[in-house]
């Protein structure tokens, strides 16, 4: 009887320990990003002890393998493409319909001082991991791995899958994904703030996550809610990443302040990938016109701005890869004129896959440079 009682006490103690918070100390945003990314935080971080957990070590090994493969197969080649074909980049990079895809943004445009990403996915939140139990942390790590699967396998997020995978639990939304991509691309996080925009595009710093609920009145008034992250790479200059959860359709973007905010940033480069061909329709005419009017460089796959909108008197156009038309889901968005450009100009081959046509011999990119005619 005593043995049974002793065993029961041990089980209870184990259960209480597993459910208890890890520490009362707070971890920095940079340490949190590294921990979620499967990279060790600084030695004196309250999260350092958690890296001794076998489950975190398994998580680190999986991410090491995934990101090493992605860098070898795709990202290193994207960086080489950028150096060769995008030499005159500007300070601002606009990436509409991006979701949390900072990975490709920084690989194509590594020197931007300001990145503006936008999508429908919620900003989310990352509570202090030190206040969470180990089972909760471990579940969050598994959820994060699952949410990144499609981008690292196919170069784009499957929105409905990511929405389900990152909607539950205390660590949710786009923020943890952004943390992982920042850490895995060698960035150091210096400052993180939740923000909203008024109708004139002014930035308002919020006291709590935009998705937190009715107590955050500033977030409720703003149709563009997001996160601002200041970071740097090694000893390089500080850069700023904005992600806004906002609807870019004409009926919403006209009053959200988002385009006014982007306009204040001056001449920009724009990147569009896996954008569901939304800019082909009449419902996104404001976003389309803004990108054409305010971008000096536009790099996109065929899901971006339709080829017919690029006046050859105003844009120098260069084709890369192979245009084989949209996937079956978007078959009605085929562009015969774009196909002719790829055929007549002997498009430069791509040695990486990107977009919905993610296989290397099927991917396409169009580079449009303003003010340099063909």
Over 70: is that where the pLDDT of 358 sits?
Answer: yes
What's phi and psi for 125, nearest 5 deg?
-160, 155
321 is written with which tokens?
């890869």
Over 70: is that where the pLDDT of 315 sits?
Answer: yes
User: Over pLDDT 70: what percentage of the chain?
Assistant: 84
- With cut-offs at 50, 70 and 90, classify the pLDDT of residue 208: confident
Of the two residues 265 and 122, the one the predictor is more confident about is 265
Mean pLDDT of the chain: 87
Of the two residues 372 and 15, the one the predictor is more confident about is 372
pLDDT, tens digit, 9 for 90 and up, residues 100-147: 999 999 999 999 999 999 999 889 988 899 999 989 999 889 888 887
Over 90: is that where the pLDDT of 282 sits?
Answer: yes
Which residues are within 8 A (CB) of 173 and not within 5 positions of it... i.e. 6 or more apart? 121, 122, 123, 124, 125, 166, 167, 211
Q: Which of 274, 266, 237 is nearest to 95 (CA)?
A: 274
pLDDT average, residue stretch 181-187: 97
pLDDT, tens digit, 9 for 90 and up, residues 13-45: 334 344 445 555 789 999 999 999 999 999 999
Which pLDDT does position 58 carry in this prediction? Answer: 96
Write the CA distances from 332 to 141, 329, 362, integer angstroms.
39, 8, 18
Residue boundaries of the structural domains of the chain: 28-266, 291-374
């Amino acid at each position: 009887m005593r043995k049974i009682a002793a065993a029961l006490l041990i089980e209870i103690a184990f259960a209480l320990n597993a459910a208890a918070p890890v520490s009362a100390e707070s971890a920095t945003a940079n340490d949190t990003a590294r921990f979620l990314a499967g990279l060790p935080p600084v030695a004196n971080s309250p999260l350092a002890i958690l890296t001794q957990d076998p489950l975190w070590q398994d998580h680190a090994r999986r991410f090491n393998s995934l990101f090493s493969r992605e860098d070898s197969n795709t990202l290193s080649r994207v960086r080489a493409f950028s150096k060769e074909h995008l030499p005159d980049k500007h300070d601002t990079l606009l990436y509409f319909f991006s979701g949390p895809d900072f990975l490709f943004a920084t690989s194509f445009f590594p020197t931007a001082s300001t990145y503006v990403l936008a999508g429908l996915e919620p900003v989310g939140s990352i509570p202090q991991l030190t206040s969470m139990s180990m089972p909760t942390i471990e579940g969050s790590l598994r959820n994060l791995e699952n949410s990144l699967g499609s981008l690292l396998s196919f170069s784009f997020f499957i929105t409905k899958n990511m929405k389900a995978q990152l909607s539950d639990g205390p660590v949710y939304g786009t923020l943890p994904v952004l943390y992982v991509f920042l850490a895995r691309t060698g960035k150091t996080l210096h400052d993180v703030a939740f923000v909203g925009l008024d109708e004139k595009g002014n930035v308002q710093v919020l006291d709590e996550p935009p998705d937190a609920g009715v107590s955050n009145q500033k977030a409720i008034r703003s149709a563009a809610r997001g996160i601002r992250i200041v970071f740097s790479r090694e000893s390089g200059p500080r850069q700023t990443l904005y992600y806004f959860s906002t609807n870019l359709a004409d009926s919403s973007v006209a009053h959200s302040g988002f385009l006014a905010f982007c306009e204040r940033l001056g001449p920009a480069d724009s990147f569009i990938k896996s954008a569901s061909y939304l800019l082909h329709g009449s419902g996104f005419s404001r976003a389309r016109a803004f990108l054409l009017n305010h971008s000096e460089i536009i790099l996109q796959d065929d899901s971006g701005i339709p080829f017919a909108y690029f006046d050859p008197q105003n844009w120098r156009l260069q084709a890369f890869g192979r245009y084989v038309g949209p996937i079956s889901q978007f078959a009605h968005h085929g562009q015969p004129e774009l196909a002719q450009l790829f055929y007549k100009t002997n498009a430069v081959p791509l040695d990486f896959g990107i977009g919905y046509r993610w296989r290397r011999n099927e991917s396409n990119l169009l580079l449009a440079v303003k003010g340099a005619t063909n």
